[in-house]
A = this chain, B = another copy of it.
Amino acid sequence: MKFYEKLAAAWENTNSLVCVGLDPDLKKLPECLKNEKYPIFKFNQALIDATKDHACCYKPQAAYYAGQGADDELFMTMEYLKEVCPDTPVILDAKRADIGNTTMMYALEAFDRYKADAVTVNPYMGMDALKPFLDYEDKGVVVLCRTSNKGAKEIQEMRLADGRELYKYVASLIAGPWNYNKNTMLVAGATFPEELGEIRQIVGDTPLLVPGIGAQGGDLEGVLKNGLTANKTGLVINSSRGLIYASSGTDFAEKAQEEALKLKNAINAFR
């Protein structure tokens, strides 16, 4: 199945635009998991069980696994996701890009080794650096456009000679020539809802991955007002820290479920 179709079905089946970010930091894990052999996997497993009816996507952040030597627990998490919610797209958040030969290896990492449905990538090196990803016509390629961090403007808002900011030009590439397989998405941070609206104007119905809700202080109402497509979808709204660390007690999964449901309902109230 094509990525856009899988995503559309997940929006429909879960009645949710919420993406659960799986960014497990060993230092922040609930005490009750600290003696587990695979604490990260156990944490993720409980979160997945608790949130799967309210999540249209999952997004494991590769850095947390790479930085903590937990590649095996990322693998176990991906396997578990395929087992318990095979219809929910999984976006490996890795922000990769390199020259062609090397990018092919990163494509194998995301799509073959970890069996992700989509991967986040960085546009700075141009399309040829992303082509090995884009060529997977059933997979999604989520390209950074306007990121949620404060410093994003330093490069992304540079004004080009034609008057546009760089990110608007990048948006036109991602939804235009780079989307030859109809499998791209754009990252547009919730912390800049106006810019997100301008991106929506440029990219039509191309789906947006929206980080920055919750801990980063993004503006949910602004995101929805400016980012929803005509059929009231088009957005994958990620929350990581706000959900997964909602409690540090034994009720962490239950609290994550409550927060996911709360976010889902807050979003749906605007749809």
Contact = CB atoms under 8 A, between A and B. Distances in A.
Contacts of A232: none
Given A99-B148, A100-B149, A149-B99, A67 B158 contact: no
B125 A144 contact: yes
A144 B160 contact: no
B126 A152 contact: yes
A150 interface: yes
A63 B154 contact: no
B102 A61 contact: yes
Contacts of A96: 63, 95
A108 B109 CA distance: 20
Contacts of A205: none
Contacts of A166: 155, 158, 166
A105 B158 contact: no
A129 interface: yes
Interface in A41-66: 61, 63-64, 66
Contacts of A211: 99
Contacts of A148: 99
A268 interface: no
Interface residues of A, number: 58
Interface string A100-124: 1111111111001100000000111
B149 A158 contact: no
Interface of A: 23, 25, 61, 63-64, 66-69, 71, 93, 95-109, 112-113, 122-129, 144, 147-156, 158-161, 163, 166, 169-170, 173, 211, 216
Contact of A126 (B63, B108, B127, B155): B155
Nearest to A163: B161
Given A68-B105, A158-B160, A128 B100 contact: no
Q: Which residue among A100, A152, A153 has the maximum number of chain B CB atoms within 10 Å of its CB?
A: A152
A124 B126 contact: no
23 contacts: A23-B101, A25-B101, A25-B105, A61-B98, A63-B98, A66-B106, A67-B112, A68-B105, A68-B108, A71-B71, A99-B149, A99-B216, A124-B144, A125-B144, A125-B155, A125-B156, A126-B149, A128-B150, A129-B147, A129-B149, A158-B161, A158-B166, A158-B169
Nearest to A104: B67
Contacts of A66: 105-106, 109, 113
A64 B102 CA distance: 7
Q: Which residue among A66, A128, A211 has the maximum number of chain B CB atoms within 10 Å of its CB?
A: A66
